[in-house]
């Protein structure tokens, strides 16, 4: 009885010992590979750091976007380490694990791509914007009706401070897909002012007065490029447009110059007795039309009867 129990216990113990001996033999056989793997780890860590520093130096020559530069250097660091990791797995003989890991990374990447496709699009757009450089920090831009000063250019969003004092975070994907108006590149901006004058005015005189007024206005650039044109016959006035250029950004500012020009035109019109009309309505009292109130004969018979 006791001998049977000993035999039953000895058999699993022997199996465990054999397993341990097999593992020990495998570990001893793997020692050279492990040493090579450690050496490869050190080598790839050094290569990753060198590659990261070199990528920053090369990137700064193409773009001054620090955030994008750090992202690029981090990506280079991760790629070099990832390559070393796969090589080390191969040295250790973990080919099956390597294959499973690659498959898992592919599936994970596919899932994350669908889940964060908008965020990924913003990041990619931020990288493209960093290389294209359609605007810089401090410039005045307008994107999808949002106008203001660029304060930050990040990888996912661009921060614009509007003239109303709000910070607007615009996704880089929307910036890349829409029209970008940059008011700081040409260093000037055109002001368009629409005005109306009376039908009784001498149009040549009006044109001369307006052009002379704008040309003598301080802050106007390219005075030979001032445009004056009559645009339409309106209900109570003949309308015209005056277009001129100012320094922008800088100088008095767009709204200040527009305000200054309107006041100067009004003062010039007053000095030359030029009328800016307001809408006039004519009341027609005839049944068929064309009669003034003074021309109508009032029926007073009924009124006299009631009075009597």
Lowest mean pLDDT among 126-135, 268-277, 297-306: 297-306
Interatomic CA distance for residues 154 and 157, integer angstroms:
5
151 to 119, 143, 172: CA distances (angstroms):
21, 14, 14
Q: Give residue-wise pLDDT tens across range 70-97.
A: 667 777 888 888 888 878 777 777 666 6
Q: Give residue-wise pLDDT tens across range 126-160.
A: 878 877 788 888 899 999 889 999 998 877 889 99
Secondary structure class of 232 (helix, strand, coil): strand
Picking from 197, 270, 283, the residue whose alpha carbon sits closest to that of residue 240 is 197
Interatomic CA distance for residues 4 and 216, integer angstroms:
121
Interatomic CA distance for residues 69 and 308, integer angstroms:
101
Helix (H) or strand (E) holding 227, with range, is strand 227-233
Q: Give me the pLDDT at residue 136, please.
A: 86
Q: Give the CA angle between residues 195, 210, 192 to the nearest 5°.
A: 50
Q: Give residue-wise pLDDT tens across range 170-207.
A: 998 888 888 899 988 888 999 999 999 999 899 999 99
Picking from 74, 67, 228, 280, the residue whose alpha carbon sits closest to that of residue 157 is 67
Average pLDDT over residues 21-48: 76
Q: Give residue-wise pLDDT tens across range 218-267.
A: 989 989 999 999 999 988 899 999 999 999 887 778 899 999 999 999 99
């Amino acid at each position: 009885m006791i001998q049977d129990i000993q035999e039953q216990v000895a058999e699993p113990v022997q199996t465990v010992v054999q397993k341990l001996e097999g593992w020990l033999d495998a570990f001893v056989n793997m020692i050279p590979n492990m040493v090579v793997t450690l050496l490869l780890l050190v080598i790839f860590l050094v290569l990753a750091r060198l590659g990261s520093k070199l990528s920053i130096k090369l990137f700064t020559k193409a773009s001054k976007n620090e955030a994008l530069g750090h992202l690029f250097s981090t990506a280079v660091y991760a790629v070099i380490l990832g390559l070393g990791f796969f090589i080390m797995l191969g040295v250790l003989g973990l080919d099956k694990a390597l294959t499973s890991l690659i498959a898992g990374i592919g599936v994970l990447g596919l899932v994350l791509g669908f889940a964060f496709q908008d965020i990924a699009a913003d990041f990619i757009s931020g990288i493209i914007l960093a290389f294209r450089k359609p605007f810089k920090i401090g410039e005045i831009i307008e994107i999808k009706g949002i106008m203001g000063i660029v304060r930050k250019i990040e990888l996912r969003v661009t921060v614009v401070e509007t003239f109303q004092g709000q910070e607007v975070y615009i996704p880089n994907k929307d910036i890349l897909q829409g029209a970008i108006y940059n008011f700081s590149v040409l260093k000037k901006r055109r002001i368009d002012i629409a005005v109306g004058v009376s039908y009784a005015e001498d149009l040549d005189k009006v044109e001369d007065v307006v052009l002379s007024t704008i040309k003598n206005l301080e802050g106007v650039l390219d005075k030979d490029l001032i445009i004056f044109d009559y645009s339409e016959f309106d209900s109570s006035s003949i309308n015209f447009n005056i277009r001129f250029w100012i320094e922008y950004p800088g100088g008095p500012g767009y709204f200040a110059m527009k305000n200054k020009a309107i006041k100067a035109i009004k003062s010039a019109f007053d000095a030359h007795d030029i009328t800016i009309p307001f809408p006039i309505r004519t009341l027609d009292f005839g049944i068929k039309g064309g009669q003034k109130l003074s021309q109508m004969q009032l029926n007073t018979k009924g009124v006299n009867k009631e009075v009597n």
